[in-house]
Every structure is written in structure tokens, then in C-alpha cells.
Chain A
Amino acid sequence: MEKMKIAFRLNGTKIEAEVAPETVLVDLLRDELGLKGTKVGCREGECGCCTVLLEGQPVNSCLLPALKVAGRSVTTIEGLTAENGKLQAIQQAFVDEGAVQCGFCTPGMIMNAKALLDQNPRPTEEEIKQALSGVLCRCTGYQKIVQAVKSAALATNTRP
């Protein structure tokens, strides 16, 4: 089918892309735009490794037609790190708490955690677990991931 031109905001920058109707967002990001930080574990919305933010909300980019992002704002894991390499609180918390093992689910986990903390800066443990329940991790047992989100919330909330 014919490709269509769309414009959207990617990690804060306005961009244009030509996409076919059957192209899903993760393929646009990875194959066309070269942003390979978003991972593909299952292509059916089960593992959550491909989570990106659409208008601040977490979505499985392996299921979302790329055309749907036209005129909207998309944030990927690459969009979190400052140009000087400085990590956001949630990324630093994942490093410090030992929430990373193989790292394949990490981008998806962090994007879900970021969406939560942006909307709810003081989440309860239950709220954290609900927010992360769409991402599978086979390595960590989740405990240090939940702890990292708690620590990031604390770090953000106590910042002067």
C-alpha cells in the first residue's frame, strides 16, 4: 500500500516520516529512524519491552500503527537522557538499585515508570506494581525495579 507522510514530535523534536499503513510504530522507530533503544520481545503486546510514551501515556509500540502518531508526541528511551549524558532520576535509580540485569526489558520498564511518576509523583507500592504489570522481566524478580521507582519518586520529590 502507498506510504503516507506524517509529522509528529519525537523526543521533543518535530519530524516527518513516510509510513505505510501496515507499519507499526516500533518498526518506524527502529528501522526507519534508527532509534534502537526500544526493544522487541514478542510483537504481540505481551512483554512490554517495546513501550514508548504517546502523549505521555505508555503504549506497546509493536501494536500501534505508526500512522496513529501523526500530530502527536512520542517519547522513547533515547529521549530521556540529556544531551550531556545526564540521566533522569528514574534511570539513575535503576542503576543504583540494581534494577537492571540483562537489560532487555529495561527500556520498557523505565518508560512505564516515567509515565507513572510524571502523573503521580508519590505512588504507592501497589500503584507502582500496577503501572509495571504490563512489562515482563525474567531476570530480576521485579523487586529491585519496584524499589528503583520508589527511590526515583523520593529523589524527585525531595529535590530543592
Chain B
Amino acid sequence: MDNKSEGKRETGVLIKEKVDLNIPLETSQKELQVVGKSINRTDAVLKVTGKLAYGDDYPEEGFLIGKILRSPFPHAQIRSISVEKARNLPGVAAVLTAADLPGRNGFGAILPDQPVICGDKVRFIGDGVALVAAETEAIAQQALELIEVDYNLLPAVFDPREAMKEGAPLIHEKGNLLSFNKLRKGEVNEGFSQADIILERTYQVPFLEHAYLEPDIIMAVPKNDGTMLVEGPLQAPFTVRRNIAAVLGLPVNRIQVRQIPMGGGFGGKEDSPIDLGCRAAVLAWHTGRPVRLALEREEVTLQTCKRHPMIMETKIGAKKDGTLTAFQGVIYDEQGAYASLGPVIPPAGGSHIHSMIMMPGPYEIPHVKVDAYLCYTNHPYGGAMRGFGAPQVHIAHEQMMDELAGVLGINPVDIRRKNAFKLGSTTATGQILDQSVGLRETLEACARTFQWDKRFGEAGYVDQEKTKRRGVGVGMGWYRTSIGTSGDACGANVYVHEDGSVLLFTGITEMGQGSYTVLPQICAEELGIEAEDVRYVQPDTDRVPESGPTVGSRSTTLMGNAIIQAARQVKETLLETASELLLVPVSKLAMKNRKIFDQDRPEKSLTFREVAAKSMALGRRLIGQGWWAPPPATLDPETGQGNPYFIYTYSTHMAEVEVDMETGEVTIKDYVAAFDVGKAINPKAVEGQIEGGVAMGLGYALMEEVALVDGLIQNLSLRNYLIPTVLDVPHIQSIILEESNPYGPFGAKGIGEMPNIPATPAILNAIAHACGGRVRSLPADPENVYLAIQEAGGVPKV
């Protein structure tokens, strides 16, 4: 590995040695049989027939129904809580308060700062103050109503800037500023002094709801042997297990967490199953009976994490020709009541530091300064949501680039051509991008297909009546393929059986993204068999190796490498056996199309099945275990300099919109999105990620906002929390480019989160191009677009 910044790394020799053993994995892109094919999803038939059982479809017999009593106040002391009446209600098995907990009264993906049951005070509307388990839903509901809580209301704070001020109501004892992070590259004032123009703009984004269609559900089943089984749709089984162990005061090996089919996650089910899992487990532990804790839609919105809202102050300096000289940003990142996935896991994990790292955008800028504040408030809390802090800052830098281009009179595509990352570029953290940098290629491919130059000149009225104006917009982006922590490793087990069928064990969960299809494809390619020969075992912490969470667009790349390693161990056995049977040296053998054969004389061959059976009969090892960790992440806490993530996916989006100048209503007319994914293991699945991601980014741009008044969510249901319907989404043309990633399986990089990130600013830029008004505080709903038009001087004449 040729890493120019090796000297900067503060990692020990041991880690370096280990990493050198692991990367890069040599995988050839030539003559692939299974990888690169758009095979159908392995779970599709079960899903189109209605046979796949999600959590709510599991039998309820024998389960107690769990319920949570939630705080109606955003900030209050609990003076007293009376549960006697509820406990005496027939059919109630348990009513628990903080006093009844067996272990740690706290959970959290990063810091255990959220009480399982609030003891002394509540910090947001929705905080849990008591837990109930009862024989039926109706009894559980009735029990909740019988619990009496005496609150002493405290002043609340709902703005991160207010929360930081001296004298602000204290939400947590250690203070409201959860994290302050700095990025310093060059000398930002020097950069601004070199600029011909300096522009300052502030952008603001609201809380966003994941709106996965399957409401959360968790089942906890206490076992006779003292273990606790917890099942549910969850993205991070190992994080859930870790938290439940601490909360029950049990060793980790006594908690078994099993993932079951998941109806969408988008980052939200990294966090919510920790919350529900701990609570269901406590009820099950206390009653000794299985407990089912299922949320209704309104409860999902009320209780679970959101995308962080942010206020982003940006200042940019450039030469007249558009060359960037300096970037300065301040992020006021609102965490809400609990830490969830916001705070830093050194060196570069957690959503907040990711926002800071990504804020200057995919551009070469010599002088950069970012100050990033993450603050508690008495709002619901921010967690992970598809892009993990990156969508917000892309909305800032991509609009800023367009505003700058507008002031300088430069085409928005040209200003990006001038500054975009290319191979060898240095990022704001000082990382040299020495591998797989296809950003400019995505820009050119997108511009060509979209016919940008022609359409950019065609802005203006589209109708005789002069009510609608057309415009086009571009958005660029980059996204990591990892989580930036030292613990970012994946394990995989591959078992080959005597009939040639294969079991694949990993901890990567399926939430719709397609891992249960793509990971078997990688395994099959390596073994020279078909993807259908590989059965992916549903993750179960008792059975699969630690794999980290299914987040950070890491699954295909990191787990893919672990699978290849595991498969190679089995391959060694199979080749040895085949060599003996065929009397051909191992070096001459190849594995393809379920056959093992002599490369020089392909007719000299055995089936994969025959060789597997013979190997089994000879008592040879047919089990492989792979382990892969990416190159270590680094980031200096004082300067924000280092190599936080080892590889990035790049993307450019272009949108055409029509804006109704009288109503402010926006229609997306056309859309092209280009991606450098390294290698598309399954192109149809990649397109699926792109199309779905763009739709989600569209919702962020035009309609989505968790509306809060005095800490209370106003739009708890899907009736008033609007997400895009089929009528809102335009035709999306996907362009997949492959700048091979030497660290990825067959060159692959992550794709799950990238597609929704540049979509939002591309649409916002198109709106500004069409109507002249710019919406700097989202969403760009008709009212805000109308106001932006008025602010920009009203309806243009031509």
C-alpha cells in the first residue's frame, strides 16, 4: 500500500503490521461470473407473496405487552411517581420505575446518557418515566393511565445557541455543550486576504424523521439458562447487545440479539432498538416472561431519533475566476435531549465530527477553519439518518458554491470543474486522496447526459401565461465507506457442506438495501459457484462474528473483504483435494461455474460438490473465518487533521424543476445522477439505492420537517409528516461509474447513503435558478419558495 501520509499516523507498529496483512486484498475485476450481475434479490419472492414475517407478524401467544409511560413535558423534575393503582390492576405483570432496575440506568449508542426509566428528571416530550407489562394491550394502556407522576416543571431550551449561553437551563449535569470540534487547515485569514470576493451565508435545516414504513418492534424472551434473547428489526445487533448487558448487569455472552426482517431503517434502527431492547429486556427480566414492545406510528415519531437539525454559518473566499482560497464554517448542531450517535468516538466516529469533516465539501481549498458545536436541548434527539451529518453540510456548501458562482457570473458547473477533488487532491483534513477519486468523472458524465450547458441557458418562463419558470441545478457530494473509529472491523464465517451448499454468517443486517443478495454474490464469486448456492444466515449474536453495525455505507466493502478471506480458507482445502483427485498442481487449478478444473485442460474437472464431499470425507477443514479492518482512521483532536476515512464514494446530481411563481409550488421535471461506486457488485441494486436515495433527498428539499412548538412535535403521523409519493418523484437516470477501489472487494465502495446527499442541494439550486429566490432555511415548501421569490424582488419579468 502506497500511503503518502503514513508518517502522520499515530498508530502502533502492531496495528500497522496487521493492516498490511489485510489490505489491499487482491481481487481481479476480470472475467467475473457472479459479481457485477444484476441478479434478483434473494428475499424478493418471500416479499411479493407476503410470506416474509416481520416482527409484527410473529406470534403473540405467551407474550406480555410492554408499554412506556412518556413525559408530556420537555424538561421537568420528577417529584414523585405513584404506581400502586397500576400494579394492582388485574392482568398487569409489572409496573417498573427507575428504582426497579437491575443494572445501569442508561443506554446509548455512544454514551449511556439516556435513562432506561427516568428517575430524577425528564429531558424531552417522550422521555420514558415508567414501564408496564400486561396480559393485553388494553390492560397495559389502562395501567399507564393509572400511574400518577408529580412533575416540577423546569425552564426548557430549544435552540443550540441558547443552550450554550451562560445561565441556560442545564439539561445534563456535565453541561449542555456535548462536543466542540475544530478543523484547522492553513491560515484561514490568509486565505480570505487572497480572495477577490468573500461571501457569507447562513443555512438552516430542521429535524427530519426517517419515516421507515415498519413501526419499531422488539421482543425480549428470558431463557431458562439465564440468557436473554432479544429479537427485532435492528441495524446494530452488537450495540444492542452491549447496552442490554450493562442494563441487566449481565455479561455480554448472556445476551442473544437476533435480527429479524426489517421494514426499512435508514439509520434510525441503529438507535431505536437500543432503547426498545433495553426496556423490553428489563420488563422480561423482571417478569420472567416474554415481552413484546411495539410502537404505533405516532409513538415512533415521538420517541425515536431524528436527523440532526443544524444552523450552518459559512464564509467562502474565491478569486475572480472561481478558484477557492478559503472556507470558514460554524456549525450549531442540535443534539436534543440525549447523545445517541452525535458525540465523537475518537478519532472520527459519531455524526457531529463527520459533519465537521465534510463541511467544506469535495473541493480543494488551501485554507479552512470549521468550528462545530454539538449541544443538548430539550427537543427529541438526533441520531443516524442516511448520511450521518453529511446531508446537512452538503446543503450548505453546495448552495454556497452556486451563490458564489452567481455573484462571479460563472456557470455553476464550471466553478465545480475548477475546484473539485481529483486523484491526488488534499482534503480539508489534509488527507491525500490517492485512490479511486471519480468525482470529476461524475460531473462530466452527468453534465453530458443532462445536457447541462444547453439547459442551463434555457431558464425562464415555460408557459404563455408566465406563471411557471424552469431552472436547473447541480449538486456534488462525497461520502465515506467506513465509520472512522478504531473498531471498524468485520468478521465473517463461511461453511461449505458436503453437497456443495454454503452457509454465510455475518453480522450485517438487511433493511432493504440488499446485503443478503450482494454479500452472497461476493462469496459465490470467490468460490466459483452461484449466489443461490450461498444461504445468508440471519444475524444472531450467538452465531455470527462481531461485525460492527450496518451503517456508514460499510457493509459491501468491509464485510465483502472479510467474506473473501473466509472463502479463501475453504478454497485452500478444496483446491488441495481437487489437486489430489485430478493430479494437477494447485497452481494450475481454477474454480468457476461450480467446477474446479485444470486451467490448461478445462475438460479435466470436478464439480464443486464432488470436491466438497471428498474434502468432508477426508476430514478436512471446510470452515473459513475472515476478518477485515480498514486502514486505521486518524484525526488530530486539536486541528482536525488526519485521514478520517479510508475511501470515499463521489457523486454529481442534476435536476430540472418548474416553479409556480404564484403559489411557490415546485415540480421536479427531470433528474440525472452519476456515481463513482468503485465497482457495482449488483448494478440493479445500486440503481435501487440511487433512486430511493434521490427520492429521500427530494423530500428533505421540498416537504419534510418535524415541526416543533415548545418541544412538542406537531406532525406525529404520516398524515402531516409528508414524504414523497410516486407523484412527486421524477424519472431518475442513474449513471454508474467505476473507479476501482484497491481496498474494496472487486473494487467496490459504499453506496447506501451517498444518493440522498447531493439530491437536496441540486434541487434547491434548481429552484433558485428557476425563480431567482433562494431558500436557505428548509424545507423549500410552497410558502418558503414564495417568500424567497418576494425577498429576491418578486417575479422576474423575463
Binding site for B on A (CB under 8 A): 30, 35-44, 46-47, 49, 76-78, 80-81, 87, 91-92, 94-96, 98, 100-107, 110, 129-130, 132-133, 135-146
Contact partner, A103, options B512, B687, B725, Cβ 8 Å = B512
Q: Which residues of B contact A140 (CB under 8 A)?
A: 688, 691-692, 695
With both beta carbons as reference points, the residue of chain B lying nearest to A92 in the complex is identified as B48
Known: A36-B57, A102-B213, A138-B696. A143 touches B717 (CB 8 A): no
Contact of A78 among B47, B49, B690, B723 (CB under 8 A): B49
Main secondary structure of the interface of B (DSSP, over half): loop
Chain A residues with Cβ below 8 Å from B50 are 35-38, 76-78, 107
Expressed in whole angstroms, the minimum distance between the Cβ of A24 and any Cβ of chain B is 14
| Interface stretch of the complex, out of B98-106, B258-266, B489-497 | B258-266
Considering residues A87, A92, A103, which has the most beta carbons from chain B within 10 angstroms of its beta carbon? A103
Highest count of chain B CB atoms <10 Å: which of A36, A81, A91, A94 = A36
A138–B731 alpha-carbon span in the complex (Å): 16
Question: Which residues of chain A come closer than 8 Å to B266, judged between CB atoms?
Answer: 138
Say yes or no: A144-B718 contact (C-beta < 8 A), given A95-B40, A101-B514, A139-B264.
Answer: no
Q: Which of A80, A94, A106, A143 has the most CB of B within 10 A?
A: A143
Inter-chain contacts of B211 with A (CB < 8 A):
136, 138
Residues of chain A contacted by B262 (CB below 8 angstroms):
102
Q: How many residues of B contact A (CB 8 A)?
A: 56
**Chain B: minimal CB distance from A149 (Å):** 10
Specify which of B213, B265, B296, B688 lies most central, judged by the most chain A CB atoms within 10 Å of its CB.
B213
Asked if B248 is at the interface (CB within 8 A of a chain A CB), the reply is no
The answer to whether A43 and B213 have CB atoms under 8 Å apart is: no
User: Which residue of chain B has its CB nearest to the CB of A132?
Assistant: B726
What is the number of contacts between chain A and chain B, taking CB atoms within 8 Å? 163
The reply on B601 being an interface residue by CB < 8 A is: no
In the complex, 15 of the A-B residue pairs with CB atoms within 8 angstroms, ordered by the A residue number, are A35-B50, A36-B50, A39-B263, A41-B213, A47-B718, A98-B684, A102-B212, A103-B512, A105-B213, A110-B48, A135-B726, A136-B211, A136-B718, A141-B695, A144-B687
Name the B residues within 8 Å of A77 (CB-CB).
48-50
User: B residues engaging A (CB < 8 A)?
Assistant: 38, 40-41, 43-54, 56-57, 210-215, 261-266, 296-297, 511-514, 684-685, 687-688, 690-696, 717-719, 723, 725-727, 729, 731-732
Choice from B54, B685, B692 contacting A141 with Cβ under 8 Å: B692
Cβ–Cβ < 8 Å partners of B41 in chain A:
95, 98, 100
In the complex, which residue of chain A has the Cβ closest to the Cβ of B721? A46
Looking at B38, B46, B264, which has the most chain A CB atoms within 10 Å of its CB? B264
Residue of B nearest to A40 (CB): B56
Please determine whether B44 and A43 come into contact, CB atoms closer than 8 angstroms: no
B688 surroundings in chain A (CB, below 8 A): 98, 101, 139-140, 144
Question: Are A141 and B732 in touch, CB under 8 angstroms?
Answer: yes
Asked if A87 contacts B718 (CB within 8 A), the reply is no
Q: CB within 8 A of A39: which of B48, B51, B54?
A: B54
